[in-house]
Amino acid sequence: MELLQITQLTQVTYSLSAVILALTFGVVSYPFYRVWDGLSSIVFQMFSFIILYLTPISNYIHLVIVLIGFDLLTGSYASIKAGDKFSAAKMRHTVEKFALYSLSIIIAYILQRIIDDGNELARIVALYIGSIELKSNYENISRILKSDILRKVWDLINDKIKGYIDSRSLDSTTNTYNGSSTDTPNDTTNNPNP
């Protein structure tokens, strides 16, 4: 090895050993500050890059945070109202849900970025997670109100869908669409080629 390479390697080794000594024994020295300034700058730049890279999906992660927060509030209130005991394990479960749900959205975003330049996969994952949390919120509200609100909402949606389908089928049987008559295949009045 050349003398210059050995000197550079020695300086790096001394810098690392100074950091290790400072962290181990609490010794603060001038070289430690120089190394720490460099490390903090690198950490700050990496953190900034990660935040900027994930900016397109920040709304999805915020949505998950809000829904988990509402789930925590409604679940806690429902448990208190039912007389259940508060436990740290349930809080840990909430923190785990947030971390894993956010990680799922981030992984979907990275995978989508590898495939092509978009965030549709992250949106689908966020919508799925959001629907899970929304259902959990409805279940908690149903426990609080002692009324199956989810079933009522589901029945209302089904009634609206059935009403829409029935109105569409009536229009097709009368051969009208919104009150105007439709052309039949045998009608030659509007057909330029009889």
Rounded Cα–Cα distance for residues 111 and 127 (Å)? 17
- Of 63, 57, 68, give the one whose Cα is nearest residue 122: 57
User: What mean pLDDT comes out for the span 151-171?
Assistant: 81
pTM, rounded to two decimals: 0.58
User: What mean pLDDT comes out for the span 109-123?
Assistant: 86
On the question of pLDDT at 181 being above 50, the answer is: no
- pLDDT tens digit string along 33-88? 565 666 777 888 888 888 888 888 889 999 999 999 999 999 989 888 888 887 78
